[in-house]
Amino acid sequence: MSNTKKIAFVFPGQGSQYPGMGLDIYENYTSAKEIFEKFDEISGKSISKLCFSGSDEDLKQTVNSQPAILAVSLALYEILNEKVHITPDYVAGHSLGEYSALYAAGVVELDELIKLVLKRAELMNNAPNGAMTAILGLDEDKIAELIEQCSSEGIICAANYNTQIQTVISGEAKAILKANELAKTMGAKRVIPLAVSGAFHSPLMKPISENFAKYINNTNVNDSEIPVVTNVDAKPTIDKAEFSSKMLKQMYSSVYWKQSITYMVQQGVDTFIEIGPGKVLSGMIKKIAPEVNVLNICDKESLENVIKEEFNKCLM
């Protein structure tokens, strides 16, 4: 393990949204306002209004939550970048959050990124029927055993390896329903069915990804300026050709989040800064690697806190 102290920026995905997000930075920072205005212009609808005054139900819809979370994350990132001028050693994002990471690493320019995520959100909103469940309290081996025992009921897989004992499973409804019951008998502490529009990060998403491919192929993708630790393999990526294939694969593959954080810690990262609405990833990282510093930038107050005080402490 490297002894050099390193920093990683991480960006959240769906589930981190909340009503009113981004309003305080929009009202106080020109760079944030410009990001929201660009989202409104390209989407042809008011993403900013959705963030600032949309209902919880509106924001839960995949077609809305993805561009809304992206807008807030990029607005916060732009302010931080403007005020602090720090280049992280790695960037990563959880599912949708990987698109924020791609922007931070210079892989896709803003206009094209917005168009790409709008299409991704639209396609995923109309995903084939399926189900997802968060399972707490079972380790990776137990999850593998659970999936094997339920696979006779239909397609089922691990969608998100979030922490050592929190995994999201995804697949056909009948198989997930069986897994929900079986998980309890195997010692799961909590079994939480998720309100989603499809079986994300499962083989059921392959037809959607094939549709998405033409949009990726029409997007200008660059080599990254900063290594992006990608969801599909928890490995650092800089080559533009790899990004195109991994964006496609990400839709139907597991998110190796726990493994991504572990990799970065092994490379010497001792400070993670979550940039985006909510504190979901911060909580996960504290469970995966309790020894590291975890900072969170989700609104004006937390942003200014990091800029003025906490960030300087971590660099001392």
Catalytic residue set = 95, 201
CA nearest neighbour of 125 among 71, 50, 38, 59: 59
Q: Show the tokens assigned to 156.
A: 């089922």
**DSSP letter string, 209-236:** HHHHHHHHHTS-----SS-EE-TTTS-E
Burial status of residue 168 (CB atoms within 10 A of its CB: 0-12, 13-18, 19 or more): buried
**DSSP letter string, 59-96:** HHSHHHHHHHHHHHHHHHHHHHHHHH----SEEEESTT
- Residue listed under structure tokens 């502490």: 189
206-217 and 110-125 helices, crossing angle to 10°: 160
CA nearest neighbour of 194 among 138, 131, 128, 283: 131
Beta-strand (E) ranges in the chain? 6-11, 90-93, 131-136, 156-163, 166-171, 190-193, 228-229, 236-237, 269-275, 293-297
Q: What are phi and psi of 93, to 5 degrees?
A: -145, 150
Q: How far apart are CA 181 and CA 315, in angstroms?
A: 48
Q: Show the tokens assigned to 248.
A: 């496609």
> Cα(first)–Cα(last) distance of the chain, in Å?
21
Q: How far apart are CA 29 and CA 283, in angstroms?
A: 27
Name, in order, each residue with C-beta under 8 angstroms of 185's C-beta and a sequence gap of 6 or more.
none
